[in-house]
Every structure is written in structure tokens, then in C-alpha cells.
């Protein structure tokens, strides 16, 4: 299963799922190591907990998110539960998507999520309409 495939479309654009964060964290750790950053912390002008920084970057560098459909992202997601029950590939295929209120917790932080779903839904409906037109020729 593609870990970047989700019901609401968040995973498809997620920096963690695309490995971008993982790659950058790994690279930063390599650079810190090469330049032995811990000896030059005073150059930053502020106190920095080097150990905590390295632990945090290590967590990001080792990140393995299974993705929405394999149980990643939020623990109990009303969107995932609902779309799975309806056996939909994603919410863009749902007739209730425009008025669905299960997105509230996502839309507050990521308002573009529903816009992308709406755009995917319009494409989906257009392809159905097109197929109908072709079959009537
Ligand atoms: S768990 Fe919920 S919020 Fe997270 S990607 Fe899946 S559907 Fe979206
Ligand atoms: S009602 Fe439709 S759009 Fe809303 S969460 Fe369920 S499947 Fe997705």
C-alpha cells in the first residue's frame, strides 16, 4: 500500500511521508558530525541543548510513518473510520463531501485539504459525465 495514499488527501502532501524531513534531518546530523558542532555552540550566541537537538533530529531521521491507510497519522480519525466503512478509496468519491463536518479538526489547520478534495471530486464527476457522453455517441 502506498503510504502517501490517504482518505482526506493529507498524506499525499505530507513532508514526513515524502521523506523530505527524514533526508534533511539525516543530512544535518552528518554536517554536525563533520564540523563537530558541539565544540562551536558558543558561536550561536545563545545556549542550545545540543544533546536534545541531536536526539530530536535522530527521531526525525529514523521516522517511518505507515501512512493513513495503514494506521498512521492521528490515532482515532473520524474521516478514516467513515470512509473505510463506506469502502471508498478516498473522500473525493463521497457524495456528502462538500457538507461533511468530520473535517473540522483538519480544516482548522489545513484549509486547503477540502479545496483539494473538492477539485478531485469535480474531476471525478467530469470524467463520469464524459464517459456517459462517449457511450451515447
Ligand atoms: S488519519 Fe484522518 S486526518 Fe490523517 S490522513 Fe487519514 S483521513 Fe486524513
Ligand atoms: S461523510 Fe464522506 S466525506 Fe465525510 S468523512 Fe465520510 S466518506 Fe469522507
pLDDT tens, 27-71?
A: 999 999 998 888 887 777 767 788 899 999 999 999 888 899 999
Q: Give the helix ranges, DSSP H, for 36-111.
A: 50-61, 78-85, 104-107
pLDDT digits (tens, 9 = 90+) for 72-103: 889 999 999 999 999 999 999 999 999 999 99
Say how many Å lie between the CA of residue 29 and the centre of ligand 1.
Answer: 30
Probe residue for ligand 2, chosen from 10, 79, 98 as the CB with the greatest number of ligand atoms within 8 Å? 79
pLDDT category at 1 given cuts 50, 70, 90 is: low
Ligand nearest, relative to CA of residue 105: 1
- The answer for residues whose C-beta is within 8 angstroms of residue 2's C-beta and 6 or more apart is 67
Whole-model pTM: value is 0.80
Which of 52-59's residues contact partners 24+ apart within 8 Å by CB, and which partners? Answer: 54/29, 57/25, 57/28, 57/29, 57/32, 58/25, 58/29
- The answer for residues whose C-beta is within 8 angstroms of residue 57's C-beta and 6 or more apart is 25, 28, 29, 32
Nearest to 111 by CA among 8, 7, 21: 8
Probe residue for ligand 1, chosen from 5, 13, 17, 79 as the CB with the greatest number of ligand atoms within 8 Å? 79
Amino acid at each position: 500500500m502506498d503510504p502517501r495514499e490517504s482518505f482526506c488527501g493529507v498524506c499525499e502532501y505530507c513532508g514526513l511521508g515524502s521523506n523530505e524531513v527524514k533526508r534533511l534531518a539525516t543530512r544535518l546530523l552528518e554536517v554536525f558530525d563533520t564540523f563537530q558542532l558541539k565544540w562551536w555552540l558558543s558561536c550561536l550566541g545563545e545556549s542550545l541543548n545540543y544533546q536534545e537537538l541531536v536526539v530530536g533530529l535522530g527521531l526525525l531521521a529514523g521516522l517511518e510513518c505507515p501512512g493513513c491507510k495503514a494506521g498512521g497519522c492521528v490515532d482515532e480519525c473520524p474521516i478514516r473510520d467513515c470512509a473505510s466503512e463506506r469502502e471508498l478509496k478516498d473522500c473525493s468519491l463521497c457524495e456528502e463531501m462538500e457538507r461533511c463536518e468530520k473535517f473540522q479538526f483538519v480544516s482548522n489547520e489545513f484549509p486547503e485539504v477540502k479545496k483539494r478534495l473538492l477539485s478531485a471530486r469535480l474531476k471525478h464527476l467530469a470524467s463520469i459525465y464524459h464517459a456517459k457522453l462517449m457511450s451515447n455517441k
